[in-house]
A and B are shown apart, each in its own frame.
Chain A
């Protein structure tokens, strides 16, 4: 393996804060970002709760100094803000000094504009600029432009709720293989009527605050977010004398091959993903200090993931918690925001509480961490599991 993959910058925007510092404060103060939906007009407004970001599109357009003629979807706006924070945090002055790529993730893409202007596109010339902003790669192209990444590897991954974890994994592999010196990795997804109604038809939306790993959990809250990390090679870190926040130590990707939307009863895919990540990292299960679980608070996910954790860690399950109670499930961005939370956990030696947990699940006896816990952490394992059976695990560590 040899080569290290250093994280040298992070940026995030979510329902619990517009930047890394705000997100961290909310995490340690147990401040949830879950509320009734405000910015989307939906009939389900009183039946669901969401993790909505405070900024309006106009706020973000102003912050990015976009011209009036722009055609940024909300996904692109969120992504651009988080990616710029990450690059600034990594103290990158000239992005073209090293071979730099961008790997982003999204599932919603420009659907917010498509569902707003679907029929208008046929006869409203002013709306038509958003037709081109629909496809998933569009937000990534715009983020690359915002970061001045040119003539380079810029691509987008969409594997539902595991998308951003896969973007981190690909970025790490590109650096290890020596293809790129630096890769900005992450994901962005905005809330939309499309996803609200989609998850509603699947009957997995909670009508109240989501309660991961609780016996009486009622489903997930959708959220919106974007987060990006700057990954750099040993070469860049040494040459620039970079401060390293943490390392991407291991990763695993497997398919559950069970059902298009549901996870297998015993979490075959999640088990394989965690085992592979441990192998790549060269770790034994006992080396993991904290698991940031996918923990969406659906009946199916938490049971399947919990069983997979037990399969991998046996009776030595490390402290674990899900942060979905803070942010909601941010779909393709989830793996990236939880990567930022994992790195913050390592930096500050804290484990976040699994909010809203009251009753032990009866199928197993593992219990999430319920209060903020200070503990020396060397390693964090983060899971992202999705539709299409896509399961991914990333391991972050303090040590190269």
Chain B
């Protein structure tokens, strides 16, 4: 089996992360519970005529892909694998609204076409003229991890050399409104630094796109090595610690070998218990969190993956993501854990290369 490396990153998020030379040194603090992605200058990457027609999810996906490809110094890849929980949800809403409001008349095809979940993956293929393998995973909080698992399988078995993977999701007004009603979005404003102390249901919703070039050939730009990713449709809270230990053991590691644990806490009083349980199991390990910066969305864990990549490459742990006071001299082996509303759990293991 071949080793697999993260050779480049491209991130568009609620923080100014599209510049790969920077690393969370200019934090945008939000007080709303629905936080937007910071837009790069899209026309630097896409022709204005094309960009006008594109959904935000498509634009974020294409531009973060191009940032990643530029950094990897590649014009093309062997495969494109996308994860998205909801696809271009604004277009879905727009089309449903038009069907209802206009009684199925005067409809135009663009919102229908863009609502298809594989639109972002298809548009990236069109932009790159990439005729290779193209998959889109749409499974809630493991959409990105499914894409990662698929790429890892191909690269380890040497069926491909360079694969572009990513996670992308965008806000939609109606989706936001109804998720507020069912308390999936927090009722009160918590601000970025009180998220984990909020004691209320729901999360702060975000959006973004994080794309990566993975390769089975190490390069000068390599960030980290990917050891493994594992997803679980269900997991009992009281079995979580055992499952983490079992996952590490498969790679001849124990909890002591982990230099950093990155958790997907979103401040939901009903479900952060999973993170707290794991946090206690790794009490001697430095820990970090990130959803106070990115917001929660189905592919928010791709921002966590970006964060882990940057930490391993730069060997710095930004103050703003620290979850506990435990220090480490280096960040060689990093474990990520994420779940959403108690379902679709994942462990991802990265190491220095």
B118 and A152 form a contact (CB under 8 A) = no
List the A side residues contacting B234 at CB < 8 Å.
144, 150-151
List the B side residues contacting A201 at CB < 8 Å.
107-109, 112
In angstroms, Cα B134 to Cα A256, docked, is: 10
- Check: B49 CB closer than 8 A to any chain A CB: no
CB distance from B179 to the nearest CB of A (A): 7
Interface of chain B residues 233 through 251 with chain A (CB within 8 A): 233-235, 239, 243
B interface, size bucket: 35 or more
B153 and A177 form a contact (CB under 8 A) = yes
- Check: B130 CB closer than 8 A to any chain A CB: yes
| A115 touches which of B80, B100, B140, B181 (Cβ 8 Å) | B100
Given A118-B97, A141-B343, decide whether A390 and B131 contact each other with a Cβ distance below 8 A. Answer: no
A200 and B233 form a contact (CB under 8 A) = no
A389 and B95 form a contact (CB under 8 A) = no
B129 and A257 form a contact (CB under 8 A) = yes
Chain A-chain B contacts (Cβ-Cβ < 8 Å), number: 195
- Check: B344 CB closer than 8 A to any chain A CB: yes
- Check: A347 CB closer than 8 A to any chain B CB: no
In angstroms, Cα B153 to Cα A173, docked, is: 8
- Check: A63 CB closer than 8 A to any chain B CB: no
List the B side residues contacting A197 at CB < 8 Å.
95, 99, 104, 107, 112
- Check: B137 CB closer than 8 A to any chain A CB: yes
Of all chain B residues, the one with the shortest Cβ separation from A199 is B112
A interface, size bucket: 35 or more
- Check: B123 CB closer than 8 A to any chain A CB: yes
A118 and B153 form a contact (CB under 8 A) = no
In angstroms, Cα B100 to Cα A388, docked, is: 26
In angstroms, Cα B231 to Cα A140, docked, is: 14
List the B side residues contacting A150 at CB < 8 Å.
233-234
Among the 9-residue stretches A14-22, A127-135, A233-241, A333-341, the one with 4 or more Cβ atoms under 8 Å from chain B is A127-135
Interface of chain B residues 165 through 186 with chain A (CB within 8 A): 174, 177-179, 181-182
B118 and A159 form a contact (CB under 8 A) = yes
* Chain A, interface SS category: mixed
- Check: A311 CB closer than 8 A to any chain B CB: no
- Check: A62 CB closer than 8 A to any chain B CB: no
B131 and A151 form a contact (CB under 8 A) = no
Chain B 62-84 interface 0/1 with A at a Cβ cutoff of 8 Å (1 = within): 00000000000000000010000
A389 and B112 form a contact (CB under 8 A) = no
| B232 touches which of A107, A151, A174, A198 (Cβ 8 Å) | A151
B85 and A115 form a contact (CB under 8 A) = no
CB distance from B241 to the nearest CB of A (A): 14
A107 and B116 form a contact (CB under 8 A) = yes
B139 and A154 form a contact (CB under 8 A) = yes
B138 and A157 form a contact (CB under 8 A) = yes
List the A side residues contacting B17 at CB < 8 Å.
none
B132 and A136 form a contact (CB under 8 A) = no
Q: Can you pick out 19 interface pairs between chain A and chain B where the beta carbons lie within 8 Å of each other?
A: A42-B104, A107-B117, A118-B97, A118-B174, A131-B181, A135-B86, A151-B232, A154-B231, A194-B92, A197-B107, A201-B107, A201-B108, A202-B109, A202-B112, A255-B80, A258-B126, A272-B131, A388-B121, A390-B134
What is the interface of chain B, defined by CB distance below 8 A to chain A?
80, 85-87, 92, 95-97, 99-100, 103-105, 107-109, 112-113, 115-119, 121-123, 125-126, 128-140, 142-143, 146, 149-150, 153, 157, 174, 177-179, 181-182, 230-235, 239, 243, 298, 343-344
In order of increasing CB-CB distance, the 10 nearest A-B pairs are A388-B122, A198-B112, A154-B233, A158-B117, A137-B139, A136-B138, A201-B109, A388-B118, A255-B134, A137-B140
